[in-house]
């Protein structure tokens, strides 16, 4: 069993939109032999889109809307990749995904440096001490000085960095990278489909000049001396503790620097780690199976209106057709067709090990955060919903299809795409999201996947927050005073809809015995 756990590598690729995250995922799959030709994300001439972007709306817009799960074998290792949306409107999906991985690769655009979304994602990694590797992408375009980028990474992400490869010039003059980890030179030839040859070169000898010319050879030698002088030697333990981030340079679109990243990654990245439950810490090498659902996707196959719950295996061994205990519902469930994924293509699996992600057919019994075990009562934690900031009332635009609309909303909200509140004053349904784009995704998916039409009406609200109190009288008085602004979420919990920051602040001052929560975990 330990051998199986040791060879697993489960990680997420995260970044700001357009830094090249999906392109990097494609190239990793190319090396894993899962796809023969990588689909350039933006090529409209060839009707081919990225493998990990499989929803219609993702193909039309060229962005990722939902996290995709992919797995492949490479060099004796079993790799599970989760490609996440970079767009901040879907940040919540990404935050939840980070709870199911053991390490993270952050992609950064060499011209733009560290952007807002990257900082937020790094905060989530720091909360959990997740090991991070940085890949600086688009070196074949004009961008910042590599040393400036390293300073910016340290300052913005608040983590020590250590380059494990180094670029030889950039933009039009980009000649390649020197791989510090393996002490080899990789020369650059722009090509989207072939892979660059490695050259073994002694940096101190005159061979270097014959490959890159005198000026660049001299600059590379002085850069390497500076790196050795300024940065501490690479320490794997510091990386595993989340205190040090190795940095690689390359161009994912042109397949350059990706293999170096992958070769080093499988050697230094952690195998599955222990998971925190409310009751105790669960170690991956325990005999009994435990796992939790971190994501639910409706309609992976448009022909069968089915949902799939993604379950991360935390310990033991998951087997097909075995009885497992569903903690929240307190009943035994069996799965005759658990699947493993290659984006949308899926295959049935007989067993899965810690670190693996299994797709379980969901008939409506799962919610995000549900735990499955062989009988022990455990609750895995850390899958919050955040308090939304944008609100619209949703109305049925076709009275003949109210059933389809209700089913569609139920499944999409179960996926965690957005949150739905029902106003107790007039029973109107209110959708709350963290980004404008989610409203468009909901409308598009309701129409194309559920045959339901909806229309939006504006709601002038500032924030929704969950409320609770040990004092029943205070709670009743609060609800009576604010009866027009009270709602319930899909689990029936009380939610206060504040229409301005001032109103929320006054409510907190006037009602001292009431607790206001801004995430759903309390």
Q: Which of 174-178, 329-333, 423-427, 439-443 has the lowest mean pLDDT?
A: 174-178
273-282 confidence digits (pLDDT tens): 888 888 888 8
* Mean pLDDT on 22-51: 55
Helix (H) or strand (E) holding 448: helix 437-450
Find out whether 87 and 77 touch, Cβ atoms under 8 Å.
no
What is the structure's pLDDT at 127?
A: 75
Q: Please provide the average confidence, as pLDDT, over all residues in the chain.
A: 78
473-520 confidence digits (pLDDT tens): 989 999 888 888 899 988 788 899 888 889 988 988 888 888 888 776
User: Is the predicted pLDDT of residue 149 greater than 50, yes or no?
Assistant: yes
b/e for 62-95, b at 16 or more Cβ within 10 A? ebbbbbbbbbbebeebbbbbbbbbbbbbbbbbbb
Q: Is residue 485 part of a domain?
A: yes
Query: Which of 343, 373, 403 corresponds to the end of one domain?
Result: 373
> Do 408 and 340 belong together in one domain?
no
> Do 47 and 165 belong together in one domain?
yes
Instruction: Kindly state the percentage of the chain with pLDDT values over 70.
Output: 79
Q: Predicted confidence band at 39 (pLDDT cuts at 50, 70, 90)?
A: very low
What is the structure's pLDDT at 346?
A: 63
> Do 485 and 438 belong together in one domain?
yes
Most confident option among 119-123, 204-208, 454-458: 454-458
Is 276 in a helix, a strand, or coil? strand
- In the numeric block, which tokens belong to residue 223? 């850069």
What is the structure's pLDDT at 371?
A: 87
* Mean pLDDT on 105-134: 82
Q: Is residue 210 part of a domain?
A: no
* Mean pLDDT on 335-363: 76
308-326 confidence digits (pLDDT tens): 788 888 888 888 888 898 8
Q: Is residue 314 part of a domain?
A: yes
Alpha-carbon distance 239 to 436, whole Å?
Answer: 37
Q: Predicted confidence band at 120 (pLDDT cuts at 50, 70, 90)?
A: confident
What are the φ and ψ backbone dihedral angles of 373, each rounded to 5 degrees? -145, 180
What is the structure's pLDDT at 466?
A: 86
> Do 147 and 55 belong together in one domain?
yes
Q: Is residue 45 part of a domain?
A: yes
> Do 45 and 22 belong together in one domain?
yes
Helix (H) or strand (E) holding 466: strand 463-468
What is the structure's pLDDT at 51?
A: 47
User: Is the predicted pLDDT of residue 215 greater than 60, yes or no?
Assistant: yes
Q: Is residue 450 part of a domain?
A: yes
Q: Is residue 264 part of a domain?
A: yes
Find out whether 37 and 47 touch, Cβ atoms under 8 Å.
no
Alpha-carbon distance 16 to 37, whole Å?
Answer: 25
What is the structure's pLDDT at 388?
A: 75
CA 247 to chain CA centroid, Å, is 20
> Do 244 and 128 belong together in one domain?
yes
Give the count of domains, the chain. Answer: 3
> Do 60 and 154 belong together in one domain?
yes
* Mean pLDDT on 413-438: 82
Q: Which domain holds residue 36?
A: 2-174+232-268
Q: Predicted confidence band at 208 (pLDDT cuts at 50, 70, 90)?
A: low
> Do 140 and 282 belong together in one domain?
no
450-483 confidence digits (pLDDT tens): 888 989 898 888 888 888 888 889 899 998 888 8
What is the structure's pLDDT at 188?
A: 66
CATH of the domain at 163: 3.40.50.300
Q: Is residue 469 part of a domain?
A: yes
Query: Which of 250, 268, 286 corresponds to the end of one domain?
Result: 268
Q: Which residues partner with 357 through β-bridges?
A: 312
User: Is the predicted pLDDT of residue 33 greater than 70, yes or no?
Assistant: no
Q: Which residues partner with 162 through β-bridges?
A: 246
> Do 62 and 79 belong together in one domain?
yes
> Do 31 and 145 belong together in one domain?
yes
What is the structure's pLDDT at 317?
A: 87
> Do 414 and 484 belong together in one domain?
yes
358-405 confidence digits (pLDDT tens): 888 877 788 878 888 888 888 876 555 666 778 999 999 888 888 989
What is the structure's pLDDT at 222?
A: 84
Alpha-carbon distance 228 to 178, whole Å?
Answer: 14
Strands (E), 158-225: 160-163, 165-168, 176-179, 184-187, 198-199
Q: Is residue 239 part of a domain?
A: yes
User: Is the predicted pLDDT of residue 45 greater than 80, yes or no?
Assistant: no
Find out whether 454 and 461 touch, Cβ atoms under 8 Å.
no
Alpha-carbon distance 61 to 179, whole Å?
Answer: 36
Is 26 in a helix, a strand, or coil? helix
Is 505 in a helix, a strand, or coil? helix
Task: Say what angle helices 146-157 and 214-230 make with each other, to 10 degrees.
Answer: 30
> Do 261 and 285 belong together in one domain?
no
User: Is the predicted pLDDT of residue 64 greater than 50, yes or no?
Assistant: no
What is the structure's pLDDT at 218?
A: 82
- Contacts (Cβ under 8 Å, ≥6 apart) of 44: none
Q: How far is CA 301 from CA 14, 64, 199, 449, in A?
A: 26, 18, 46, 10
Alpha helices in 33-77 (DSSP H): 56-61
- Contacts (Cβ under 8 Å, ≥6 apart) of 304: none
Query: Which of 305, 339, 373 corresponds to the end of one domain?
Result: 373
Find out whether 177 and 257 touch, Cβ atoms under 8 Å.
yes
Using CA of residue 457, residue 461, residue 466, residue 469, what is the dihedral sign? negative
User: Is the predicted pLDDT of residue 92 greater than 50, yes or no?
Assistant: yes
What is the structure's pLDDT at 393?
A: 92
User: Is the predicted pLDDT of residue 21 greater than 80, yes or no?
Assistant: no
CATH of the domain at 465: 3.30.70.3280
Q: How far is CA 71 from CA 10, 117, 123, 402, 420, in A?
A: 9, 26, 26, 39, 33
């Amino acid at each position: 069993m330990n051998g199986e756990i040791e060879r697993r590598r489960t990680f997420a690729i995260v970044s700001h939109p357009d830094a090249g995250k999906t392109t990097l995922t494609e190239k990793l799959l190319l090396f894993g032999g899962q796809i023969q030709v990588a689909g350039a994300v933006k090529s409209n001439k060839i009707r081919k889109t990225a493998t990990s972007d499989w929803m219609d709306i993702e193909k039309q817009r060229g962005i990722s809307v939902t996290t995709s799960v992919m797995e492949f074998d490479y060099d004796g290792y079993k790799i599970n990749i989760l490609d996440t949306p970079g767009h901040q409107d879907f940040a919540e999906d990404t935050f939840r995904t980070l709870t199911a991985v053991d390490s993270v690769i952050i992609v950064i655009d060499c011209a733009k440096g560290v952007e807002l979304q990257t900082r937020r994602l790094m905060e989530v990694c720091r909360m959990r001490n997740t090991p991070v590797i940085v890949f600086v992408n688009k070196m074949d375009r004009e961008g910042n000085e590599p040393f400036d980028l390293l300073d910016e990474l340290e300052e913005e992400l608040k983590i020590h960095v250590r380059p494990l490869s180094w670029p030889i010039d950039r933009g039009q003059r980009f000649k390649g990278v020197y791989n510090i980890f393996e002490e080899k030179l990789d020369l650059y030839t722009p090509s989207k489909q072939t892979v660059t040859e490695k050259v073994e070169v002694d940096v101190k000898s005159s061979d270097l000049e014959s490959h890159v010319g005198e000026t660049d050879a001299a600059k590379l030698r002085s850069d390497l001396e500076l790196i050795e002088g300024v940065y501490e030697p690479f320490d794997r333990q510091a990386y595993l503790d989340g205190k040090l981030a190795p940095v690689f340079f390359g161009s994912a679109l042109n397949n350059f620097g990706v293999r170096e990243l992958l070769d080093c990654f499988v050697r230094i990245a952690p195998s599955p780690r222990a998971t925190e439950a409310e009751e105790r810490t669960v170690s991956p090498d325990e005999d009994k199976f435990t796992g939790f659902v971190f994501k639910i996707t409706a309609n992976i196959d448009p022909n069968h209106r089915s949902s799939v719950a993604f379950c991360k295996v935390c310990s033991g061994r998951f087997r097909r057709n075995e009885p497992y205990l569903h903690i929240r519902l307190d009943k035994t469930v069996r799965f005759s067709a658990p699947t493993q994924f290659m984006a949308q293509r899926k295959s049935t699996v007989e067993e899965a090990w810690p670190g693996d992600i299994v797709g379980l057919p969901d008939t409506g019994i799962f919610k995000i955060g549900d735990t499955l075990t062989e009988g022990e009562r455990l609750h895995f934690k850390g899958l919050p919903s955040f308090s939304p900031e944008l609100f619209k009332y949703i109305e049925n635009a076709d009275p003949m299809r109210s059933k389809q609309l209700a089913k569609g909303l139920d499944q999409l909200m179960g996926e965690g795409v957005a949150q739905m509140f029902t106003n107790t004053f007039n029973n109107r349904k209110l959708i709350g999201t963290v980004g404008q784009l989610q409203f468009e995704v909901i409308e598009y998916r309701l129409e194309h996947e559920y045959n339901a039409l909806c229309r939006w009406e504006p709601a002038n609200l500032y924030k929704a927050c969950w409320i609770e109190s040990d004092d029943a009288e205070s709670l009743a008085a609060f609800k009576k005073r604010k009866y027009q602004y009270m709602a319930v979420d899909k689990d029936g919990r009380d939610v206060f809809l504040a229409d301005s920051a001032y109103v929320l602040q006054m409510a907190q001052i006037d009602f001292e015995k009431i607790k206001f929560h801004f995430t759903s975990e309390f």
